[in-house]
Amino acid sequence: MHLQSNVDLTLANTLRLPCNAEHYAAPSTLSALRAVLAHAHAQGWPVTLLGGGSNVLLPEQLPGLVLRPALNQWWLNHGQVAQQGDVFAHVGAGVNWHRFVMATAARRLWGVENLALIPGSCGAAPVQNIGAYGVELADTLQAVQVMELGTGHCYWLSAQACAFSYRDSIFKGELADSVVITQLVMRLSRVPAPQLHYGDLAARLSATPTPLEVADAVCAIRREKLPDPEVLANAGSFFKNPLVSNEQAAQLLRYYPAMPHFPQGEGQTKLAAGWLIDQCGLKGMQQGAFGVHQHQALVLVHFGGGDRRGLMKTADFIVAQVEERFGVKLEPEPRVVNP
């Protein structure tokens, strides 16, 4: 089972928060995954799931077993066609998300090109229903295979059963801490379908771009706006864009007519968390080992030497400042892992 003990996970999370795992395993097959889960169950160990480490806030100590699936195979099923032009990709949970996006874009397959350069593993993508530049994972995901932590039993969930919503899914709710995602099925297409309405994406491209050209443009924009976690530790967007009632949005717009806002239907409007933070004068601030990135107010960065307590102190300060000025309460986007 290749179990390891007393494993330092500081470099296994992009915020570089100090963390030590009592036991650690990275199984590369379903049988190995099932075996290590059975062993953990027999030992009475709690099990903590860890993907690419890009969207988690780790504590200093994690008892029991930290499980990081290394199911690193993916393939295209050209025979599984729902309509003309469809191509289905079967993707192991351990596959790097960005590499998968670029590989499918290079094959001129449409569907996930707007999600290029999002860090993390494919298995973690459904948990958060990752999204960027007007596209969400839920737009192309068809099914998810999971394994029950307690029994090792595998079964499939349809996209509808995953209960996807903005940065949310069944894996954060009903199935939290009870299953591990092992495989995704993504429905891609050979039929051109560029989604270029977000930001300045269209301005960077021709009228008929390829999926790879779109992915490259997205990468360029992200690199201009977001710090590289290999250079400056961060977890990408730290706060969700808040949803408020249309009435509250209209009231805010009377005072802040330039405020970015995006009607969502059902009486709700999405606001830009980064803009709210920036208006509070917090861009570029530093509080101990943590701060707000100087070019992107939505990103909290770790300068080194800090821990999760220090990070949450900085985050709570930002939340309080935004709520005091706008009456809007921000929520952290990363998953908080507790021992």
Please list the active-site residues: 167, 237, 333
| Euclidean distance between CA atoms 116 and 105, whole angstroms | 9
Distance CA 12, CA 227 (A): 18
Closest CA to 16 of 202, 230, 179, 190: 230
Q: For 243-259, b where at least 16 C-beta lie within 10 A, e where not — what string?
A: bbeeebbeebeeebeeb
Tell me the helix, strand and coil percentages in the chain, rounded to 5. 30, 30, 40
Take residue 252 and report the two structure tokens written for it.
């805010």
The residues, any chain, with a CB within 8 Å of residue 125's CB and separated by 6 or more, are: 97, 118, 137, 184
Task: State both tokens at 292.
Answer: 């707000």
Instruction: Read off the tokens for 168.
Output: 């949310």
* Count of residues making up the chain: 339
- What residue type is 165 in one-letter code? S
Q: Which helix (H) or strand (E) holds 278?
A: helix 273-279
**Residue 334 · residue 311 · CB < 8 Å:** no
CA dihedral 329→311→229→173, nearest 10 degrees, is: -50
